[in-house]
Structure 1
Amino acid sequence: MSYVGPDPDDFDDFNDFYRDDDPQRGRGGRRFGGRPVLVAFAALVPTALAAWLVWQVVSGPGDSAPPKVLPAPAQSSTSSSGTPSDAKEPTSAAPSTSSSSPSKSPSTTSKKPTTPAGGGSGPLKGKVVVIDPGHNPGNFRHTADINRLVNVGNGSKECDTTGTSTNGGYTEAQFTLDVARRLRTILEQQGATVQLTQNGERAWGPCVTERAAIGNAAKADAAISLHADGSAAGNRGFHVILPASVHAGAADTRPIVASSRALGERVAGKFLQVTGEPPSNYVGGGTGLDTRSDLGGLNLSKVPKVFIECGNMRDAQDAGRLTSGSWRQKAAQGISEGIVSFLRG
């Protein structure tokens, strides 16, 4: 799950009609969730989401609750390519070489998760945030370990995956670590106590089950998993994945469904406002939100948690942004503002 690209053009006015300047997409207008709008033509539908997202970021914490986003369509268990987005195939940038040794628990081969940094005296003092950088740069060297199945409550999933990459070889694991470190710095400056599930110090993993367990053990006030997608060229934009209501085995997301949606809506609104990256044109029906029941990192979470697919690494325009350091700083800023809005709201 990934996306990068050159710094986006500023959106002149989010209340104006959404303009699709990407000739590769060739898609018509989509309906975005928000306040009621009288629509004269189908092409005008996208204005609703832009207006709602701007209202949200302008209102800030403490204002009355924002209008509800247009509910995302029925949850999808696969990406547009037909492959679950947390089970991507190894890429050319990360040659696949199976480990010859038996599968071992990440705890026996890697260091423990990064210790939380103490919070400062800012507005988030006393708040705990867990950041989960998706995948691991070393996963491709340990395919036997990451391919073993783990129980996610309502089924089995691979322990972890290699992630995707841009056509130029910039990997999703590199992207997520970079944004995670930038995000941690911003949140710590706000006074939060921040913990990463991995910081590039472990050989592989952790498994999706351990990623959820780290947030639970920290009693996080908010947790977010960072990704970038690997869909077809022409598929552009970000989307935030919300946990579905799952009650099976060790999974019970019922207590966190509402709070996770609130977190996801805040992150989506701020991410759009700060980065200019449009909501996905291929997932979520134009809302920028998607609900899934097949992701272990969400199913097993006991704290408010969402995933964010920052863009599509296989689309040239998105890739240009994802590979830009200045844009990744904007991505971290947008995500942080969404988390701050949620925690202070």
Structure 2
Amino acid sequence: MSYVGPDFDPPQPRRPRRGPLTVALAALVPGALIGWFVYEAVGAPGDSSGSAAGSTSSASAGAPLSPSGTASNDDKPPGPSSLKGKVVVIDPGHNATNFQHTAEINRKVNIGTNWKECDTTGTSTNAGYAEAQFTMDVSHRLKTLLERQGVTVKLTHDGDSPAWGPCVDQRARIGNDAHADAAISIHADGAPVGDRGFHVILPGSVHAGSADTRAIVAPSATLGRGIAGDYRRATGEQFSNYIGEGTGLVTRKDLGGLNLSTVPKVFIECGNMRDSKDAALLTNSAWRQKAAQGISEGIVSFLRG
């Protein structure tokens, strides 16, 4: 490649002689340019966004103005910061060491409508993969996905803390005390072989003793329907064939974690651990990521309204 630079300019062809019209146009161009620069410096007639030379603002950059006169971001797609300040409480069902603390988890606690055991050991696959292991794994994956959206996430317990439980009334209280915008309890079912699929449990209208779910029934139903749809889409798992009449939704009034909640909350039974086909999914790490993704999408949609 040949080099062309300041010292190696190729010979230029001879320029043709300019005619009268060319000379006239050349004389007009500088005047037009001077007028344009003055126009830009002063601003167009009626344009309040004009500013001194060298200064800029978000309004003068072309962003639409809100009624208050400040630049509006309504035309920008929502980003992670749009969920900053939102709080979600994730409740990993059961605890992997509950079986070592039978006296503690069998203690009765008040769930509003009646008294019930503090917690249970949960179920497992036939090969011994515990529900508590599954729920903790999905909860951690879900926490990561939500935090990427700017959500503040709290777990009711995390691995070995506490060593057992917490009790169902404490699980509800954690969500209430956090003033959560949404709460979800992660579970997997222990139904008979052949029963397949997932379902989302919604709180029924309860007003008895220390339980009053009337204010959260409607928003919880919205949350649950969104999660059910996104979970099915993300995982390919079918709606339960043994409960919910094919809707993937069930309403219950006997769960302390729902009865005592004062924030929108649902449970999800992600599949049946006792069925070999469902168990093959639940024990698959890649599928559990899909499960977390589906739950996350449903929660995010709910938070964004």
Superposition TM-score, scaled by structure 1 size: 0.65
Higher helix share: 2
Hey, what does 2:65 align to over in structure 1? Answer: none
Code of the residue aligned with 1:208 in structure 2: it is: V
Give the secondary-structure state (helix, strand or coil) at the position aligned to 2:82: coil
**Of the candidates 93, 96, 105, which is equivalent to residue 146 of structure 1?**
105
1:176-187 correspondence runs (5 A): 176-187=135-146
Mapped partners of 1:161, 1:168: distance in 2? 20
Query: What secondary structure, in the 3-state scheme, does the structure 1 residue paired with 2:268 have?
Result: strand
1:123 partner SS: helix
SS of 1:202's equivalent? Answer: coil
Query: Hey, what's the Cα distance between the residues in 2 that align with 1:167 and 1:121?
Result: 41
Letter paired with 1:315: D
Tell whether 2:296 aligns with 1:342.
no
- 3-state SS of 1:122 partner: helix
User: Aligned pair 1:166/2:134, yes or no?
Assistant: no
Aligned counterpart for 1:212 among listed residues 156, 172, 177: 172
* 1:229–1:311 contact (8 Å) kept in structure 2: yes
Of 233, 244, 266, the match for 2:204 = 244
Share of identical aligned residues, percent? 72
- Does 2:184 correspond to 1:224? yes
How far apart in 1 are the matches of 2:146 and 2:116? 31
Separation in 1 of the partners of 2:258 and 2:202?
Answer: 8
CA offset at residue 124 of structure 1? 1.4
Report the equivalent of 1:256.
216
For the pair shown, the structure with the greater C-alpha radius of gyration is 2
**Partner residue in 2 for 1:130:** 89
Contact 1:128–1:222 at 8 Å: present in 2 too?
A: yes
What is the CA–CA distance in structure 2 between the aligned matches of 1:242 and 1:281, rounded to whole Å? 18
Greater mean alpha carbon deviation, residues 199-208 or residues 215-224: 199-208
Unaligned runs of 5+ in 2: 1-78
Structure 1 distance, partners of 2:152, 2:303, is: 13
Q: Summarize deviations over 1:254-303 as a string: whole Å, max 9, x none.
A: 00000000000000000000000000000101100000000000000000
Quote the Cα distance in structure 2 between the aligned partners of 1:124 and 1:185: 14
Residue 274 of structure 1 is matched in structure 2 by 234
Alpha-carbon RMSD = 0.9
Q: One-letter code of the match for 2:94? A: H
Task: Map 1:299-318 onto structure 2 (within 5 A).
Answer: 299-318=259-278
Give 1:24-173 correspondences, 5 Å limit.
Answer: 121-173=80-132
2:62 counterpart residue number: none
AA partner of residue 314 (structure 1): R
Please tell me whether the aligned partners of residues 238 and 280 of structure 1 are also in contact (alpha carbons under 8 angstroms).
Answer: yes
Which runs of structure 1 show a deviation greater than 4 angstroms over 4 or more consecutive aligned residues? none
Deviation at 1:202, TM superposition (A): 1.6
- Alpha-carbon distance between aligned partners in 2 of 1:299 and 1:196, rounded to the nearest angstrom: 19
State the partner residue of 2:148. 189
Partner of 2:176: helix, strand, or coil? helix
Residues 122, 189 of structure 1: 8 Å contact kept: no
For the pair 1:289 / 2:249, whether they are aligned, the reply is yes
For 2:111 and 2:191, locate their aligned partners in 1 and report how far apart those are by CA, in whole Å: 24
**5+ long unaligned stretches in structure 1:** 1-119
Number of aligned positions between the proteins? 226
**For each residue in 1:34-69, what CA deviation from the matched residue of structure 2 results, as whole angstroms up to 9, or x when unmatched?**
xxxxxxxxxxxxxxxxxxxxxxxxxxxxxxxxxxxx
Deviation string 1:158-192 (CA, Å, 9 cap, x unpaired) is 00000000000000000000000000000000000
Q: Which structure carries more relative contact order (alpha carbon 8 Å, separation 6+)?
A: 1
Aligned-pair CA distance for 1:123: 2.9
Measure, in 2, the Cα distance between the counterparts of 1:123 and 1:336: 15
1:216–1:168 CA distance, 2 compared to 1 (3 A): same
Instruction: Work out the CA distance in 2 between the residues paired with 1:147 and 1:171.
Output: 19
Q: CA deviation at 1:122?
A: 3.0
Instruction: After TM superposition, give the deviation of residue 334 of structure 1 in Å.
Output: 0.2
TM-score norm. by structure 2 comes to 0.73
